[in-house]
Structure 1
């Protein structure tokens, strides 16, 4: 008892747990939480990830896995209190609201099943990427018009002068609402936020109630006018038309509530997210310069901004049955504040979570939009607007900087963005004064989650030297000398080869401890599909190339006692890094390297020097062919085999290892045609998305990945050939026709995951954990 960090004489939570001093002091309305929610609850993520707040009367949850599990189970963890006033108001304020006939009902945000999903499905279509595309020209035009107003001033408050009004105008356009008085709607929107998630003082509550009541009546008047002619393009008109088809699903009270909630949800979160993003980027001038120089990085920057400093800090849930979260027992009726901003900084899920890294390959795992059946439907509208804002500002004001200021926030638990964002610049340096082409039309932005193919960085070729006959070794470093991401043996990077859009994967072959550069060896393939031929013909020292990764689906199990490494030709690249690591760890290993001739064997002298007698060269021209049958004739439970090389070599190894323990042989592949889609030979199948509550049909001429994207479900992807593993999705039930070369034999037989770009369901139906 003397070592327990909790004061057992302190107050106790409803389940009897003593309340720690930190939990007792938790105040989400204070400046600490408002300025930096993830840092404010860092102690909780580290020590007490589920705690009771006596001040709030809520259980607070701060770790990623716990919060995602809560989002996943919306039956046990009901969203019913998501729009409940977190601070009860007095009789006077309640009487004011009643005088306006205020009757806010359930919406998509806080509705339980079985009512929620039919309504979500009925109203989903306008939010899909294909339907959102026609809004982009209007967003672009509006953004340019607002920038025009202050471009020559040298100083602006981006919140007041652009970031509030443009998203509000876009929201009204999307909803089909006539543009009303912007200042009035801003006042109403803030009042709605304070009324629901804030802590207004007693003397403020009546004024807030009047604003909310007026907002409610305005929404009703607009809706009544729309009913007279619901043929317009807006989402509310779409809802009215759907009401005629499904009156029991899309009801009158539902539409009125959604009109009011939609005006807030469609613009306030985007306005705040955009202000947070620009503040964060300008606080990191090196990153700001990077996206100014390379606008292709903007989708990745948006996603990392949403993770690192999103506009939604927390959501709320209520427990419907006795359960536990993070090992803490909770009784039915317990209220939860789930701090998504904290989840987005959880080191257990995001490496170097506090680091602002726009090249992070799992930034889109962020929970700012929620997850599952109640994930924000407008997420891709927000992403699109943020991309347009950054494209326009980086092109027209790349020399912009933050002005000296103290950032303030509207005190509340859930929605945050700076009330003002002052920036400065020298108008004489505006690029468009010297180069009107800055204002030329731009290509359409990507609508939806960034693909793995877009998460990249520009590196410089620090060295390019021959490594063997027909092989060059590239050393790629950051232009500014910064350290590159950590990687483990077996990892690969993708190199974009010229302007053709071709991307090819190359295994890293240097020292994983060297963070100053990536090293790869590239063989000039006789039947090159364009990648290796371009590198050999065009790349020179000092050139810049676009690189993605590293990613790893060919890992060395560092706990193994004995390893056999087998490389054929250029397949030596990942295996060489593995053997280097095994040597450093003291693993008992042998390294077999097969090649056509000594002159064609990359890194031969380096490997001989490093591995000595453990290295066995098998040179075909010298009659030294490898005898895999003899090498692998005796299965050994303690030995792992790692191999990379031509398909014929891999097939021979698989045959020799048939009697070995399952997955003793681990293989890296160069290419695959298993995922090639032939509609004439495919069968359609059904996929149930358990977490999202959707059921989709995947026709014979469509991949699962495409079907998911059409349903507005975020899934990463890159190679789309079944090689890289970035599009992996969890399988809960059903038989899978695996067509990737990523999963091991045991993983395929287990049937708990699949690659959505190429693999398909068998037997009619599969169930995914999405």
Structure 2
């Protein structure tokens, strides 16, 4: 759709990419027709309050950018559009983020003025160039290293509050724990004395209603008095802090920074941040914790899983933030004429970006409505925002949520939701149940018979969760001999539910019992068979213990833990011709790819090499499926795969997929010299390219374009570690350059690629890199899209 002219409504209706019905309800400021659903959009109604993503599902599916006449805002609901808005904070200013969404009347405004209320810009709603200097100046207390100091207090408080009600058999977790503990932690973090907590809670709620709610005319004056008192209290607390700026706390840190940078950290700024900080540092965490516990208890099987395996808690927190986070939406204002999702937006237009809807976007999160605590990209959630205005306190919130869940799952695993109706404070942006009643049988409290439980604790992960912790239990359905020295395992879910979807080239990680080892094995079954995952395992002569353990110990009925599936060896399903080359056990991923090529009608052939026929797995199965497309090269029978001859007779538009011994892969890479850059795709399971030797490395500088930060990567540290220390969320798994999960986009600079994931063409394009192992070339400064 193109921008509208004053008399172009009819033309615009024809060009508009969305269907609005025969009789649109109204017209947007750009002339775009407003559909009946857009006209009815009411973020203060019960539908939005109870379930924002479901309330705007129609928008995600049909009309992802629409104008709301009731609100006077453009509403954005899809993941990519919202992330693009966050990324461009110059075009989409946060200036209205704390603006009253419902204008108040003259009487309420006079009340606020009587208190000297003068809320200024804060980190939440400040534009450049003022924002980033202040953010950088005040960031250090939010780094993972500094946040560790708060863990003991959070644990102590969580224990004490559970102690108060554990023998009661019933509790309102919001009133009795989840509001007060985050508020106490927030005050401790800020350096605020723990006084008038109930009053601060009342003021905080008033601030939320005043900013993001729709108070009735008769309520506005009372709200204004509460907000005015909050403002004055924040000023008094700040004055006390100035008397002892050496005390611990973020606000005292800001006071000390003011002496260093008086033009950056000003008096008015500190006063505004004091008030905003008390709200931001606790209310969203309190709501997020209540939402998470409610969601987990609504899925008893999942609650039981995290009770049995606390290592799942960090990713469960992330999935709770995605599925039912405490921040439903943010606001932005366009500073120039622009487009969002192809829709023209005029300068001055206000936007409500519904992050909770983005978190349910099927285009980014497969089976988005499914609550899956093992979801590998759960940390992509936008509940904390993105880019230069991303929530600075996100890792403190994650820490608190992890500890709350750890304490409750250990001490009250038999807890369940009470029958109740959930209510929410009506507003556009922040949501959590006003009450959360739970119940249990105190006689079943495990600590009554196992007092040692009270001494247990799970290490908190500060930052995004590690893929290594996201395991799932499986039952070994069968173990069969696939060839000499090779066993084939069929793995199924213990509860009979479908296994995770996977694509050819995927692998899983298998935990090898009490050996402490974890090994990767490619999936070799049929992706269409949803009930099982299949792997084939060769007993390696040089085994470090993993394959030997599987051969010697695993039997039908055993329970194993796996991670994945993951895929960094994907097949291009749009290719016209595929050559599959396998050596030995490398047939496992290749067999699944060939099966998929057959299903898609792709022209293909398989070349499978081995020392002996008896040692080659799946020959009969492959022959039955692929017939003459299968070519065997068996050494003891005089067979050899002549790679040069094979490639000489193959059209260079073909794609080549190979997995096998290092010597075979190296010979194939040599033979492919002169072929198109991305013709050869190879599966690797080991590499030493990313091994860090500080004596041979150089530090380098990295600009994070979206976050407005510049960091220096020391010689003895990976880029991944440096980014985490700066509070930047980066997914990672293998941390060896094997899996591709830590990939980031490169905007400028030359990369020293040390992974085995990217193809030759992708390396030469220099548009992405793996942060766990790759570095900048000497003398190069990198610019990343982070």
Conserved in 2, the CA contact under 8 Å of 1:635 and 1:661?
Answer: no
Which has the larger displacement, 315-324 or 595-604? 595-604
Q: Partners in 2 of 1:391 and 1:615 — Cα distance?
A: 53
Conserved in 1, the CA contact under 8 Å of 2:24 and 2:34?
Answer: no
Q: Partners in 2 of 1:420 and 1:725 — Cα distance?
A: 42
Which has the larger displacement, 51-60 or 307-316? 51-60
Conserved in 1, the CA contact under 8 Å of 2:579 and 2:604?
Answer: yes
Q: Tell me the secondary structure at the aligned position of residue 745 of structure 2.
A: strand
How far the C-alpha of 1:542 sits from its partner, in A, is: 2.6
Show structure 2 runs of 5+ residues with no match.
1-12
- Asked whether 1:767 is paired with 2:783, we answer yes
Q: Partners in 2 of 1:448 and 1:404 — Cα distance?
A: 35
Q: Tell me the secondary structure at the aligned position of residue 549 of structure 1.
A: strand
1:200-229 CA distance string (max 9 Å, x none): 000000000111111111111111101101
| The one of 696, 718, 721 aligned to 2:736 | 721
- Tell me the TM-score normalized by structure 2: 0.96
Conserved in 2, the CA contact under 8 Å of 1:467 and 1:473?
Answer: yes
1:293-326 CA distance string (max 9 Å, x none): 1111111110000000000000000100111101
Conserved in 2, the CA contact under 8 Å of 1:490 and 1:553?
Answer: yes
How far the C-alpha of 1:9 sits from its partner, in A, is: 5.6
| The one of 445, 449, 456 aligned to 1:434 | 449
How far the C-alpha of 1:447 sits from its partner, in A, is: 1.1
- Asked whether 1:609 is paired with 2:624, we answer yes
1:663-718 CA distance string (max 9 Å, x none): 22211112111111111221221100000000011121111101101101000111
| The one of 471, 485, 490 aligned to 1:475 | 490
Conserved in 1, the CA contact under 8 Å of 2:24 and 2:36?
Answer: no
- Asked whether 1:220 is paired with 2:235, we answer yes
Q: Tell me the secondary structure at the aligned position of residue 52 of structure 1.
A: strand
Look up the match of 1:569.
584
- Asked whether 1:253 is paired with 2:268, we answer yes
- Asked whether 1:302 is paired with 2:283, we answer no
Show structure 1 runs of 5+ residues with no match.
none
Q: Tell me the secondary structure at the aligned position of residue 279 of structure 2.
A: helix
Look up the match of 2:3.
none
Look up the match of 2:595.
580
| The one of 243, 254, 273 aligned to 2:258 | 243
How far the C-alpha of 1:400 sits from its partner, in A, is: 0.9
Look up the match of 2:440.
425
| The one of 600, 604, 614 aligned to 1:599 | 614
Look up the match of 1:698.
713
1:220-369 alignment runs, 5 A limit = 220-369=235-384
Q: Partners in 2 of 1:581 and 1:66 — Cα distance?
A: 33
Conserved in 1, the CA contact under 8 Å of 2:748 and 2:782?
Answer: yes
1:750-765 alignment runs, 5 A limit = 750-762=765-777, 763-765=779-781
Look up the match of 2:213.
198
Output the aligned Cα RMSD: 1.4
How far the C-alpha of 1:551 sits from its partner, in A, is: 1.3
Conserved in 2, the CA contact under 8 Å of 1:596 and 1:621?
Answer: yes
- Asked whether 1:486 is paired with 2:501, we answer yes
Look up the match of 2:756.
741
Look up the match of 2:152.
137
Look up the match of 1:643.
658
Q: Tell me the secondary structure at the aligned position of residue 51 of structure 1.
A: strand
1:504-531 CA distance string (max 9 Å, x none): 2211001101111111112222222343
- Asked whether 1:505 is paired with 2:520, we answer yes
1:152-231 alignment runs, 5 A limit = 152-231=167-246
Q: Partners in 1 of 2:650 and 2:489 — Cα distance?
A: 38
How far the C-alpha of 1:658 sits from its partner, in A, is: 1.8
Which has the larger displacement, 527-536 or 205-214? 527-536
Q: Tell me the secondary structure at the aligned position of residue 600 of structure 1.
A: coil
Q: Partners in 1 of 2:146 and 2:477 — Cα distance?
A: 45
1:734-765 CA distance string (max 9 Å, x none): 11111111111111111111000011112320
State how many pairs are aligned. 770
| The one of 56, 63, 72 aligned to 2:78 | 63
How far the C-alpha of 1:467 sits from its partner, in A, is: 2.0
- Asked whether 1:533 is paired with 2:548, we answer yes
How far the C-alpha of 1:460 sits from its partner, in A, is: 2.1
Q: Partners in 1 of 2:601 and 2:508 — Cα distance?
A: 27
Which has the larger displacement, 357-366 or 537-546? 537-546
Conserved in 1, the CA contact under 8 Å of 2:65 and 2:75?
Answer: yes
Q: Tell me the secondary structure at the aligned position of residue 518 of structure 1.
A: strand
How far the C-alpha of 1:574 sits from its partner, in A, is: 0.2
How far the C-alpha of 1:142 sits from its partner, in A, is: 0.7
| The one of 690, 707, 724 aligned to 1:709 | 724
Q: Partners in 2 of 1:205 and 1:753 — Cα distance?
A: 52
How far the C-alpha of 1:500 sits from its partner, in A, is: 5.2
Q: Tell me the secondary structure at the aligned position of residue 33 of structure 2.
A: coil
When residues 754 and 501 of structure 1 are mapped into structure 2, their CA distance, relative to the original with a 3 A threshold, is: farther
Look up the match of 1:28.
43
How far the C-alpha of 1:501 sits from its partner, in A, is: 4.5
Q: Partners in 1 of 2:333 and 2:761 — Cα distance?
A: 39
Q: Partners in 1 of 2:281 and 2:266 — Cα distance?
A: 21
Look up the match of 1:77.
92
Q: Partners in 1 of 2:559 and 2:442 — Cα distance?
A: 31
Q: Tell me the secondary structure at the aligned position of residue 292 of structure 2.
A: helix
Look up the match of 2:8.
none
How far the C-alpha of 1:41 sits from its partner, in A, is: 0.6
Q: Partners in 2 of 1:756 and 1:367 — Cα distance?
A: 21
Q: Partners in 1 of 2:740 and 2:676 — Cα distance?
A: 24
